[in-house]
């Protein structure tokens, strides 16, 4: 279905290009494996742009952190080392708290609420990115985040001392507040980290666990629906300024399709990947009532801390989101 729509859009977009330009190759680093749905959507987006611009702009994706590790992708785009890339912006919450709006525990726990939160935050995030020489093209949410463990956990007390994979400020703080030990691990390194005992737990979607076959090392996945973080595809603003109006229209059209398709895939992938974890031998199900209540208390603390760090702009995002409820 997605390929059919992509091809139709690309064919339509092709007719909109008024005149040929000098062909450019845009390398597009991505942090997640080629089989991950974000990477699949990115590859379709790249094909759409390449076809739609008549080859004026050829986008070549580089998944699994093969070109730049995840933590370096945003900086590589900003500085012009690559023209375009995909990044989990909450991984840069340490440079601007606003990047962590989508990782506030238990604020937006469903796809509908995630869409509302994104609508409330998008103008602010676009402005922050623009100030960093970045132009946002599209954003796609991950499925709801759950907790992975090697051993059974029924309360926060059971988490004490467990080595926990962190990837942003929110996950590091969650580890601290639950008594776990945060260990920074990029997505491409997850399988090895669990296999070698560098970490024994993480908060992530069923998608990440399924793609990385974490059932080879972990045994439990608890559905807590903590948050739905987003991946963002961005282009260097200087590069974007040099793109013809016709090709900009093509890229925006392809980005709109990618965002639509990404949301659709994320929803469809949620149930599929959780079943995949079960098929791999993991115990998958809701967390205990005690653990959920204790995590929500921690969520209140983390929300308060984020609002303090994000200031008036952060409060405006949360207020706008709550007004939509």
Question: Per-residue pLDDT tens for 182-205?
Answer: 999 988 899 999 999 999 999 999
Based on the fold, state whether residues 215 and 313 are members of the same structural domain. yes
Task: For 227-267, write each residue's pLDDT tens digit.
Answer: 999 999 999 999 999 999 999 999 999 999 999 999 999 99
Report the mean per-residue pLDDT for the chain: 93
Span 201-213, average pLDDT:
95
Based on the fold, state whether residues 86 and 10 are members of the same structural domain. yes
**Number of domains, the chain:** 2
Based on the fold, state whether residues 90 and 25 are members of the same structural domain. yes
By percentage, how much of the chain surpasses pLDDT 90?
91
Q: Residue 111: which CATH number?
A: 3.40.190.170
Based on the fold, state whether residues 160 and 206 are members of the same structural domain. yes
Based on the fold, state whether residues 45 and 30 are members of the same structural domain. yes
Residue 302 within any structural domain of the chain:
yes
Residue 299 within any structural domain of the chain:
yes
Residue 28 within any structural domain of the chain:
yes
Residue 278 within any structural domain of the chain:
no
Based on the fold, state whether residues 177 and 294 are members of the same structural domain. yes
Based on the fold, state whether residues 64 and 139 are members of the same structural domain. yes
Strand pairing report for 134-141 and 230-236? antiparallel
Residue 276 within any structural domain of the chain:
no
Based on the fold, state whether residues 167 and 66 are members of the same structural domain. no
Residue 260 within any structural domain of the chain:
yes
Cα→Cα distances 42→31, 34, 91, 110, 206, Å: 11, 9, 19, 23, 19
3-state secondary structure of 58: strand
Based on the fold, state whether residues 176 and 56 are members of the same structural domain. no
Q: How many CB atoms lie within 10 A of CB 116?
A: 18
Q: Which of 20-24, 49-53, 245-249 has the lowest mean pLDDT?
A: 20-24
Q: Which domain holds residue 88?
A: 2-143+229-271
Based on the fold, state whether residues 248 and 259 are members of the same structural domain. yes
Residue 246 within any structural domain of the chain:
yes
The DSSP secondary structure of 197-251, one letter per residue, reads: TS-SEEEE-HHHHHHTTGGGT--EEEE------EEEEEEEHHHHHTS-HHHHHHH
By the 8 A CB rule, do 106 and 297 touch?
Answer: no
């Amino acid at each position: 279905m997605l390929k059919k729509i992509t091809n139709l859009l690309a064919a339509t977009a092709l007719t909109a290009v008024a005149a040929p330009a000098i062909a450019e190759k845009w390398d597009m680093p991505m942090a997640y494996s080629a089989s991950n749905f974000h990477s699949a959507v990115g590859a379709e987006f790249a094909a759409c742009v390449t076809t739609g611009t008549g080859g004026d702009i050829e986008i070549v994706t580089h998944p699994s952190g093969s070109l730049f590790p995840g933590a370096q992708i945003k900086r590589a785009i900003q500085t012009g080392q690559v023209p375009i890339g995909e990044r989990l912006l909450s991984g840069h919450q340490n440079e601007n708290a606003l990047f962590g709006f989508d990782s506030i525990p238990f604020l937006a726990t469903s796809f509908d609420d995630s869409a509302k939160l994104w609508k409330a935050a998008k103008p602010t995030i676009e402005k922050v990115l623009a100030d960093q020489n970045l132009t946002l093209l599209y954003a796609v949410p991950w499925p709801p985040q759950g907790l992975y463990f090697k051993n059974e956990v029924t309360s926060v007390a059971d988490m004490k001392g467990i080595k926990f994979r962190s990837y942003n400020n929110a996950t590091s703080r969650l580890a601290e507040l639950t008594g776990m030990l945060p260990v920074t691990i990029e997505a491409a390194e997850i399988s090895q980290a669990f296999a070698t005992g560098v970490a024994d737990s993480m908060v992530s979607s069923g998608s990440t666990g399924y793609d990385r076959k974490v059932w080879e090392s972990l045994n439990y996945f608890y559905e807590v629906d903590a948050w739905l973080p987003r991946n963002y595809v961005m282009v260097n603003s200087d590069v974007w300024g040099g793109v013809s109006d016709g090709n900009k229209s093509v890229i925006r059209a392809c980005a709109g399709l990618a965002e639509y398709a990404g949301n659709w895939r994320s929803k469809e992938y949620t149930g599929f990947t959780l079943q995949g974890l079960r098929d791999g031998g993991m115990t998958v199900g809701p967390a205990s009532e005690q653990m959920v209540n204790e995590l929500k208390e921690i969520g209140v603390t983390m929300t308060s801390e984020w609002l303090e760090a994000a200031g008036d702009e952060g409060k405006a995002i949360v207020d706008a989101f709550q007004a939509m409820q």
